[in-house]
């Protein structure tokens, strides 16, 4: 890794998700890549959900951190490969849990859409982030944001968010 | 709307060389879907996103109020990526905002199904309570189509469109699950929920005939090798719909005759009201930012 690339990574290391301030953009897989090109340094970010209102803030945060570090770099939003919750590191998943959000399960391997619908599999058991019980039920498939579902723990009775596999 | 550029449009110089409406290469070794086709997909998303957003603050229960807001955000996010792609390929002074806010009713290419209000058959100026069964049935019928469309377009050689499809498919699966779950709850629920769900199915089902009559833009996208032959999806759509209706103890109506033509720009009276609300602010204050 070249010095300038390392500097960019270092200057962005502290940036966290605007809605989940306990995990960094890098841990979430939103901050994808830093490369040196003949035209200068490029920082690649990728959106989570297409309509995620946090993406504008994230891009501003990245530019702001680069400015603050005095680094001239282009910020590029790239869609492919599509962001997936499988990119969230294990450490970050544990931070989510401690924060009160049940972390996402690994996405299921692709099955045909028809099969996906007709044999709707029982969802993986979602463990309560507070007490660890898997005696939980879904209250709503869309929680406080599109990326989360709302669950309720039947043992400790607390509601909680589940970060859905994407 | 502003700012997020479609990935692929990383190198804008390549994009700018794509001719308007053409199927010429947009990147090395790849083909481009016609702009009219991209607009058809974008208009579908923005119109249903706007329609469903009417529930914001008025949902039948708090959880569904929030769910419908989130589903709308997904649709509007998809529409933005598609409008940005179309605008980049059109070049000149085209922007996503101009495409969403400054085209008129007859320029919109969405399915008629998506512009209908959240109630049974009524003329455009009539006032009625919104009916959540109508919302759920529409989201289900359209959601079942879109998981198939995005699944196919994810493999499109148009790399820009394929990238949008890959993301949209992930969201469409959640939309379809949500709608199918509620359809089963309503259909296989109380007498009243069953009756209202069946009425919504009877009202909306004929509008799905529009899915299966390809437009010029859809044919052109297939000819360019970038689109999907919608008729090839029909058996899979039937399977999803029949299976779920059966689980919901609802009856699929016999449909024949009228085929709506929204995607050709011939709309019901309802689209104008919807666009009036959606476009009013942008047109009253052109160029405004916040
Ligand atoms: Zn618990």
Nearest CA in chain B to A53: B73
Query: Above pLDDT 70, what percent of chain B?
Result: 90
| CB-based contact B137:B194 (threshold 8 Å) | no
- Look at residue B269 and tell me if it is in a domain: yes
> Quick check: A36 and A77 in contact, CB under 8 A?
no
Give the closest residue to A45 by CA, choosing from A71, A37, A60, A36.
A60
% of residues, chain B, pLDDT over 90 = 83
Residues B81-133 pLDDT 10s: 999 999 999 999 999 999 999 999 999 999 999 999 999 888 777 888 999 99
Are residues A78 and A103 located together in one domain of the fold? no
Compute the distance between CA of residue B7 and CA of residue A81 in angstroms, rounded to an integer: 10
Distance from CA of B287 to the nearest CA of A (A): 19
B247 is in which domain, residue-wise? 35-283
Q: Quote the pLDDT of residue B128.
A: 84
pLDDT at A5: 94
Distance A129 CA to ligand 1 centre (A): 7
| Residue A1 confidence (pLDDT) above 80 | no
Q: Least CB-CB distance to A118: which of B6, B167, B239?
A: B239
Cβ contact A146–B74 (<8 Å): yes
pLDDT (0 to 100) of residue B90: 97
Mean pLDDT, chain A, integer: 91
Are A97 and A31 members of one domain?
A: no
User: Could you tell me if A116 and A132 lie in one domain?
Assistant: yes
Structural domain contains residue B289: no
Percent helix, strand and coil across chain A, each to the nearest 5: 30, 25, 50
Residue where a domain terminates, one of A43, A62, A83 = A83
Q: Is residue B272 part of a domain?
A: yes
Per the domain annotation, does B242 fall within a domain?
yes
pLDDT in tens, A142-155: 988 889 999 999 99
Side-by-side strand order, sheet with A40-45: A31-37, A40-45, A73-77
User: Ligand 1 centroid to A134 CA: how many Å?
Assistant: 8
The pLDDT-based confidence of A110 (bands split at 50, 70, 90) is low
Of A36-40, B84-88, B197-201, B211-215, the range with the lowest mean pLDDT is A36-40
Write the residue in A81, A120, A141 that is nearest to B174 by C-beta.
A141
Average of pLDDT values for A5-31? 95
pLDDT above 70 for B16? no
pLDDT of residue B10: 36
Segments forming the whole domain that contains residue A51:
4-83
A141 and A158 belong to one structural domain:
yes
Select from A21, A54, A83 the last residue of a domain: A83
Over residues B171-187, the pLDDT tens digits come to 999 999 999 999 999 99
Rounded to two decimals, the pTM is 0.90
With a CB cutoff of 8 Å and minimum separation 6, the contacts of A92 are A23, A24, A27, A28, A103
For residue B148, list chain A residues with Cβ-Cβ distance below 8 A: 113
Q: How many domains does chain A have?
A: 2
Of A60, A83, A106, the position where a domain reaches its end is A83
Ligand 1 centroid vs A139 CA: distance in angstroms?
14
Interface test with chain B among A19, A50, A121, by most B beta carbons within 10 Å: A50
Contact state of B174 with A82 under an 8 Å Cβ cutoff: no
Domain total in chain B: 1
A79 and A9 share a domain? yes
CA of A158 to the centre of ligand 1 (A): 6
Q: Which chain A residue lies closest to B49 (C-alpha atoms)?
A: A51
Q: Listing from the earlier edge strand, what are the strands of the sheet with A148-153?
A: A101-102, A159-163, A148-153, A136-140
Residue B55 within a domain: yes
Smallest Cα–Cα separation from B223: which of B73, B34, B67? B34
Q: What is the mean pLDDT of the segment spanning B177-206?
A: 96
* pLDDT (0 to 100) of residue B21: 36
Q: What is the CATH number of the domain that holds B54?
A: 1.20.1260.10
Average pLDDT over residues B202-222: 97
Residues A8 and A79 in one domain: yes
- Assess whether A101 and A154 both reside in one domain: yes
Interface of B with A in 24-63 (CB under 8 A): 63
């Amino acid at each position: 890794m070249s010095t300038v690339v390392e500097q960019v990574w270092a200057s962005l290391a502290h940036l966290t998700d605007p809605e989940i301030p306990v995990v960094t953009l890098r841990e979430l897989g939103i901050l994808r890549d830093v490369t040196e090109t003949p035209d200068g340094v490029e920082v690649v970010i990728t959106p989570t959900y297409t309509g995620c209102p946090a993406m504008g803030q994230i891009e501003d945060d990245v530019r702001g951190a680069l400015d603050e570090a005095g680094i001239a770099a282009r910020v590029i939003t790239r869609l492919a490969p599509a962001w997936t919750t499988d990119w969230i590191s294990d450490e970050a998943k544990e931070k989510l849990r401690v924060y009160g959000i049940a972390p996402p399960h690994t996405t299921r391997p692709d099955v045909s859409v028809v099969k996906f619908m007709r044999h709707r599999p029982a969802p993986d058991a979602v463990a309560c982030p507070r007490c660890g019980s898997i005696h939980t039920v879904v209250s709503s498939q869309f929680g406080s944001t599109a990326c989360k579902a709302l669950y309720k723990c039947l043992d400790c009775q607390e509601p909680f968010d589940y970060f859905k596999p994407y | 709307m502003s700012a997020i550029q479609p990935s692929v449009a990383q190198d804008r110089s390549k994009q700018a060389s794509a001719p308007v409406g053409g199927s010429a290469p947009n990147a090395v070794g790849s083909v481009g879907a016609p702009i009219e086709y991209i607009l058809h997909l974008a208009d579908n998303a923005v119109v249903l996103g706007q329609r469903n957003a009417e529930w914001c603050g008025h949902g039948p229960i708090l959880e569904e109020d929030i769910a419908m807001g989130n589903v709308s955000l997904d649709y509007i996010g998809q529409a933005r990526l598609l409008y940005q792609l179309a605008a980049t390929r059109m070049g000149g002074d085209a922007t996503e905002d101009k495409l969403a806010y400054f085209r008129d009713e007859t320029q919109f290419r969405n399915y008629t199904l998506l512009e209908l209000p959240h109630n049974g058959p009524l003329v455009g100026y009539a006032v009625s309570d919104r009916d959540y069964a109508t919302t759920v049935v529409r989201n289900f019928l359209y959601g079942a189509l879109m998981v198939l469309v995005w699944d196919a377009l994810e493999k499109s050689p148009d790399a820009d469109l394929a990238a949008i499809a890959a993301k949209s498919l992930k969201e469409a699966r959640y939309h379809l699950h949500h709608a199918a779950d509620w359809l089963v709850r309503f259909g296989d629920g109380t007498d009243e929920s069953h009756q209202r769900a069946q009425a919504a199915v009877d009202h909306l089902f004929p509008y799905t005939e529009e899915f299966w009559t390809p437009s010029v833009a859809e044919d052109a996208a297939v000819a360019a090798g970038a689109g999907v032959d919608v008729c090839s999806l029909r058996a899979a759509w039937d399977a999803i719909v029949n299976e779920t209706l059966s689980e919901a103890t609802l009856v699929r109506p016999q449909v024949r005759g009228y085929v709506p033509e929204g995607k050709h720009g011939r709309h019901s009276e309802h689209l104008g009201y919807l666009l009036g609300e959606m476009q009013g602010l942008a047109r009253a204050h052109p160029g405004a930012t916040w």
